Structure 1
Amino acid sequence: MIEHSGEHAFNYRLHGGSPVRMQWHFFDQSELRVAVQTWELPPGGCEGMHAHTDNDMALEEIYIVTEGTGQMEVSGETFDISVGDSILAKVGAHHDLRNTGTGPLKLVVIWGAPGASDFSGFGSAKLARQVRQTTRFPAAG
């Protein structure tokens, strides 16, 4: 099954921010317990500050930048983001995404209710754990 880029795209205003060009991939087709979307924010566009708490619907979100530059604020901390960067907004974290570049900011956004999954039997999970335990990046700033 394939879904082409832009095939089911629509404009949507998120959390009081600017309109975002969005495609919800395999909506009503996939049985995964997450939403997988691609977003495109115009220059100066933003998602709008918000949080997903237990009161509305507890959600975690992962943002992966595929094109452009921007800033992401999560729990009062601001990060400059660009291609290949990923950001995690945990349940209850206030967060906002803003396009600070001159072209579109494109992302893959994956969100859903948090819960445990056991991937430890996969070789890639073992290697990911090993890399995270041995790789240290200097603190920013």
Structure 2
Amino acid sequence: MKLLQIITSRYLSGLALTLFANVSLAQKAEDSGYFIQQDSDIAINQSGPHKGGGETTGFPFFSDVPAMDLVFKKRILHPGSAIGYHEQHKDEIYYVISGAGELTMNGTTSEVGPGTAILTRPGNSHGLRQTGDEDLVIFIVYRK
């Protein structure tokens, strides 16, 4: 029993030091004018945006940073999910990291895959559907 108390005490002390160090590093980064985020800390499971359906995971990087006028997101479209067809009101960029998808732009469809960059300008309409067996992973960038 005594050994268990010693191990538990050392484990909790180490955990407290680790948590304190992480808070300290995060505060130091914020005070220095930069931010670091891990996608595992901000992942949100949600249905496909713009009534796309299916299950996706969104990662809204830096969404809580004050005076940030740029949106930078990672989105995973799991099998059977989509970003619904919608009209664009500002410049928006999609960049495909992995997987396969079908892009519909102004009624015309195209296959997209890793390394594909898509710029949608205001007044155009688009949607993106995951195809294939693996997740479709994209980055999305636009101004607020």
Residues 1:101 and 2:101 are matched in the alignment: no
Q: Is the Cα–Cα contact under 8 Å of residues 97 and 114 in structure 2 kept in the other structure?
A: yes
Residues 1:4 and 2:6 are matched in the alignment: no
Residues 1:49 and 2:85 are matched in the alignment: yes
- Give ranges in structure 1 of 5+ residues lacking alignment: 53-57, 114-141
Q: Distance in 1 between matches of 2:50 and 2:79?
A: 18
> Which residue of 2 is the match for residue 67 of structure 1?
98
Query: What value does the CA root-mean-square deviation take over the aligned residues?
Result: 1.5
> Which residue of 2 is the match for residue 22 of structure 1?
58
> Which residue of 1 is the match for residue 122 of structure 2?
91
> Which residue of 2 is the match for residue 131 of structure 1?
none
> Which residue of 2 is the match for residue 120 of structure 1?
none
> With structure 1 as the length reference, what TM-score do the two structures score?
0.70
SS in 2 for 1:22: strand
For residues 32-63 of structure 1, the C-alpha deviation after alignment (integer angstroms, 9 at most, x for no partner) is: 422100000011211111113xxxxx322100
Shift of 1:24: 0.5
- Give ranges in structure 2 of 5+ residues lacking alignment: 1-34
> With structure 2 as the length reference, what TM-score do the two structures score?
0.69
Shift of 1:30: 6.1
Q: State the structure with more CA Rg.
A: 2
Q: Distance in 1 between matches of 2:61 and 2:44?
A: 12
- Residue type matched to 1:3 in 2? Q
Q: Is the Cα–Cα contact under 8 Å of residues 72 and 140 in structure 2 kept in the other structure?
A: yes
Q: Greater helix share, 1 or 2?
A: 2
Over 3 Å off, 4+ runs = none
Q: Distance in 1 between matches of 2:67 and 2:135?
A: 30
Aligned length in residues: 108
Q: Distance in 1 between matches of 2:129 and 2:109?
A: 11
Q: Distance in 2 between matches of 1:28 and 1:5?
A: 14
Q: Which deviates the most, 4-13 or 88-97?
A: 4-13
SS in 2 for 1:64: strand
Q: Distance in 2 between matches of 1:108 and 1:74?
A: 18
**% identity of equivalent residues:** 28
SS in 2 for 1:6: helix
Q: Distance in 1 between matches of 2:143 and 2:80?
A: 27
